[in-house]
Amino acid sequence: MRPSSAVADTSTRILDIAERLVQTRGFNAFSYANIAAALHVTTASLHYHFPTKGKLGERLIERYRTGFLAALDAIDATGADAVQKLRAYVGLYTDVLARNRMCLCGMLAADYETLPKPMRTELRRFFDANEVWLTRVLDTGRERDELTFAGSPVDAARVLVAALEGAMMLARSQGDPARLQSAADRMLAGLGVKPA
């Protein structure tokens, strides 16, 4: 049982380092050599766990999506209203930026044309899942008169995701995380959310 546990631990450590590298540099700006140096192992040993960088990327997105969806489930479990859920959703983004990182999938979206097809598929799954969750929150919020906005909930969900991803990039480029929160507040106000 011990070797299997050690393999899983090594795989997790590889994923942790790769995730940090993608979130701070982008997928195309790191190599297996960067991960191997951080772990003090050879690049050949990394290929044992993830035969290609594309396979590593797929697993990264799967893990990130699973964690993000678990965070959305936790928000749902609070029984909060739509306004509180949207604020908590924004908090997922501001928390990542506060750690001097970017949304993993936002960073990968910038590299989309250079990614292997399976990674593109996983990336779409991440954003689709976000849109589905937000659409439900927005639809329910409008039905309960907690939110007011023009257009369809799915369109509003798409605009919110795009705005948060873009605001995150600009806030990072300016070295000013408060820009993300300011942009998010404006977006939420457009959905009928009053300032906290």
In-domain check, residue 184: yes
pLDDT-based confidence at 1, cuts 50/70/90?
very low
Which pLDDT tens digit goes with each residue over 76-130? Answer: 999 999 999 999 999 999 999 999 999 999 999 999 999 999 999 999 999 999 9
Is the CA virtual torsion 188, 189, 193, 196 positive or negative?
Answer: positive
Residue 54: pLDDT over 90: yes
Backbone angles phi, psi at 195, to 5 degrees: -55, 145
Residue 3: pLDDT over 50: no
Q: What pLDDT was estimated at residue 6?
A: 61
Domain hosting residue 66, numbered range: 53-189
Cα separation, 29 vs 115, in Å, equals 13
Taking the mean position of all CA atoms in its chain, how far away is CA 194? 26
Decide: pTM greater than 0.85.
yes
Other Cβ atoms less than 10 A from the Cβ of 42: the count is 12
pLDDT-based confidence at 185, cuts 50/70/90?
very high
Q: Are the C-beta atoms of 102 and 169 separated by less than 8 Å? A: yes
Q: Are the C-beta atoms of 107 and 23 separated by less than 8 Å? A: yes
User: How many independent structural domains does the chain possess?
Assistant: 1
Residue 22: pLDDT over 50: yes
Which pLDDT tens digit goes with each residue over 59-71? Answer: 999 999 999 999 9
Instruction: Retrieve residue 83's tokens.
Output: 């306004």
In-domain check, residue 44: no
CATH number of 139's domain: 1.10.357.10
For the residues 38-51, what does the mean pLDDT come to? 92
In-domain check, residue 179: yes
